[in-house]
Amino acid sequence: MWSGAGKVALVGVGYSALTRSSEGALGARAVEAAENAVAGAGLRLTDIDGLAAFPEAPYRGAGSTDGIDLVSVEYLLRHLKAAPEIQWYAEIEMGMVLSAVAEAANALIAGACTHALVWRALHQPGGAYGAVRTRYAAGETQFLTPFGFGSSFQPHAFAYQRYLSLHGAEREAMATLVVSQRANANRNPRAHFRDQPMTRDDYLNARMIADPLCLFDCDIPVEGAVAVVLTTAERARDLPNPPAYLRAYGQNTVRRPNLMPYTMADYMESGASIAGKLWERSGLRPEDVDVAELYDGFSPSVYYWLESSGFCGRGEAWQFVQDGRIELGGKLPVNTHGGALSEGRLHGMGHLAEAVLQVTGRAAGRQVEDCRVALATAGSPMLRGSGVLLTSEP
């Protein structure tokens, strides 16, 4: 059991507007999300004395202008009217945004700060998203980019095709997962696709992006930000809303060659390295989880997370998601906010925010009944993922 279990609480969630346009500065949206998270926690901006973020640009070749393409700790230090003297801050390069949550939790336990803000801001550039814009292919990319592996779609498609072939899975089975998440998004007023239902035929007839990935297997890029506020469980008792307690966190620590990581990596090995830490540190098991917010930058990642986390066996996820099991009211509701596929691409921050709302009973029309334990993951279990378990009681 992790000695910090239940000692840290997530007490505020804040969103900016999520749009497909990039009018205005991304930094302003990050400030908006931060202000909403602090207000939602019942705190003042001057209470915030810790900052943590995963500010990396969303794809290779993206811009790097602070406040436009990404939002760093330095940007919020300059633009957020927080405590006059920030006591602690951190920027994360690996593990994605839930690793920033882990850093903030450890800082709170150590007494390095009293209230920490964690955020993720994503830019939606104009033109073809993730298109190759370089004339040069250096390092490992010289073996990939000239042959069509220039964006993230291709390696994920390659890995998914391998999954289908190894396990006799049917691509059509994914329609159940994607349609279920869209139905959840239709209950989420913040979701990009909140007003656009989807049928199985819509999914099956969608154009291919990189076979076997179709358009609706890919997350929807948005411009926006999400932030959360963390504090100690003791301080959380004095705040107006019920907190979500951090029971455990896990990060991917499996070493592997860099070349073709999405294709060659064993998701069961690396994903289990995250989930194993969660179960060991929390004292909980997969059967204790009431809702799973599983990262879905591409839909097959949900399969990999389900299997590597122990909800079903290897090669069984495509069958596990059938028959209403992952829908609201099912045995294991998955991505109740719509996920990155239908709420919008937020690199796991939307998944964390939804997990907080679920275990605190504030998910409105998509609330899972008697939700006490929520799992949230970020990133691919094959490369640089992270996860947290949240509970309604310390």
Residue 18 lies inside a defined structural domain of this protein: yes
Residues in the chain, pLDDT under 70 = 59-61, 95, 127-133, 253-265, 269-272, 383
Residue 168 lies inside a defined structural domain of this protein: no
| CATH number (domain holding residue 69) | 3.40.47.10
Q: How does DSSP assign 313-378, residue by residue?
A: -TT-HHHHT-TTTTSTTSSS-B-TT-HHHHT---TTHHHHHHHHHHHTT--GGGPPTT--EEEEEE
Which is nearest to 294 in space by CA: 385, 372, 373? 385
Gap between the Cα atoms of 383 and 270, Å rounded: 7
Beta carbons within 10 angstroms of residue 74's beta carbon:
15
Residue 381 lies inside a defined structural domain of this protein: yes
Residue 228 lies inside a defined structural domain of this protein: yes
> Which pLDDT value is given to residue 384?
73
Write down how long the chain is: 394
Residue 28 lies inside a defined structural domain of this protein: yes
> Which pLDDT value is given to residue 255?
59
Gap between the Cα atoms of 267 and 305, Å rounded: 8
Residue 113 lies inside a defined structural domain of this protein: yes
- Output the six-digit token pair for 47: 């209470």
**What residues have CB less than 8 Å from 238, skipping those under 6 apart?**
none
Range of the domain at 254: 8-126+220-391
Specify the pTM. Answer: 0.95
> Which pLDDT value is given to residue 262?
54
> Which pLDDT value is given to residue 193?
98
Residue 159 lies inside a defined structural domain of this protein: no
Gap between the Cα atoms of 390 and 244, Å rounded: 6
Domain count for the chain, please give it.
1
Residue 351 lies inside a defined structural domain of this protein: yes
Does residue 300 have a cis bond before it (omega within 30 degrees)? no
